[in-house]
Amino acid sequence: MAVWFVTGASRGLGAEITRAALASGHSVVAAARDPRTVRAAFPDAGDRLLPVALDVTDGAQVQAAVEAGVEAFGRIDVLVNNAGRGLLGAVEEASDAEVRAVYDTNVFGVLTVTRAVLPVLRAQRSGHIVNLSSVGGFVSSAGWGVYASTKFAVEGLSEAMALELAPVGIGVTVVEPGYFRTDFLDSSSLHRVATVIEDYAEGPAGAMRTTAEQVNHGQLGDPVKAGPAIVSAIDSGRAPLRLQLGSDCVASVEAKLGAVRSELDAWREVAVSTDHDDVATPAR
């Protein structure tokens, strides 16, 4: 059985991934800011669960957590970068400090944990990295611009790593959940911009503030189903680069693909006209 290393493992999708991995017979290094919450969430996991303290923005703590996992289980096979932070507000409304806080967790935290785990995976010549993105990592929307930009960054990193790591036997999957019924929209995970600009209040960014409150804990997606879906995909040995979760995510991705194709076709002549004259225009 494999050894999973899951960040943000005490609640939400992280807890459900941990639960599903344990149910499949795997061992889990379950990382959270307070490891006591992990043990409380999985009291019967026994010695297949190693709770570790982890703030993904603390490089020394990240390294210590990875070393503790290797010492306990001898290896790490699957890294799940799940810990995240949300920010709701129009792009202009977000302060420098608010933007940096989201990037520190969602982008630099992912990089810090990944850099700590990759030497282990490369030495084994095997393993898999699972990066939790969002439907917002593929389709941005008003009110979620800063948050979505962090997930777009995760997707770009994941695409590159998939190419870089394939030759050494390491796979990469980026998971794109739609709206799932977790506590993501609660104040414990989602932060709202402190400054509200009146010009945005009546537009889509302002409307999204109300929508987020209305849909909270009534979201379409079931996290209890998402955890096993992710674990099963990785266990299958043929996990995709992108794994969409939720029918709302599928609908949004399909709509964007269609819109991009339509716009590309409409502006194709302009696009290809900017090549040098001595370069053959590619066939349609």
Catalytic annotation, residues: 133, 147, 151
CA distances from 137 to 166, 201, 241, 261, 273 (A): 23, 24, 13, 18, 30
Total H helices, total E strands in the chain: 11, 9
> Which of 245, 224, 220, 218 lies closest to 136 in space, CA to CA?
245
The pair of three-digit structure tokens given for residue 237, joined into one six-digit string: 């040995």
Distance, in Å, from the CA atom of 251 to the CA atom of 33, rounded to the nearest integer, reads: 35
Are 211 and 168 within 8 A, CB to CB? no
